[in-house]
Amino acid sequence: MLAEALQIDVERALDLFYSTQTCRQLEDPKFGLQLMSDQYLVEDILQELQSESFGDGDVS
């Protein structure tokens, strides 16, 4: 879904996914992201990547 949304290949999408705060939060049950839909997670990642590209996100 992320690859389609960004029109990139799957390998690049995976690299982006694993570099996001969303991915790190997905591994931690206290955030509850495991309960969210795939579409919600993709939208969250897209928002995170967009804010990172504008320099107002803290994705480390």
Model pLDDT for residues 14-45, shown as the tens digit of each residue = 999 999 999 999 999 999 999 999 999 999 99
Q: Is residue 15 part of a domain?
A: yes
**Total domains in the fold of the chain:** 1
Place of tokens 């495991």: 34
Q: How confident is the model at residue 7 (pLDDT cuts 50, 70, 90)?
A: very high
Q: How confident is the model at residue 54 (pLDDT cuts 50, 70, 90)?
A: confident
Query: For residues 43 and 50, what is the distance between their CA atoms, to the nearest angstrom?
Result: 10
DSSP annotation string for the chain: -HHHHHT--HHHHHHHHHTSHHHHHHT-GGG-GGGS-HHHHHHHHHHHHHHHHTT-----
Distances in whole angstroms, Cα of residue 12 to Cα of each of 3, 4, 28, 32: 8, 11, 24, 26
pLDDT, residue 56, reads 57
Q: Is residue 16 part of a domain?
A: yes
Q: Is residue 58 part of a domain?
A: no
| Range of the structural domain that residue 31 is part of | 2-52
pLDDT, residue 60, reads 41
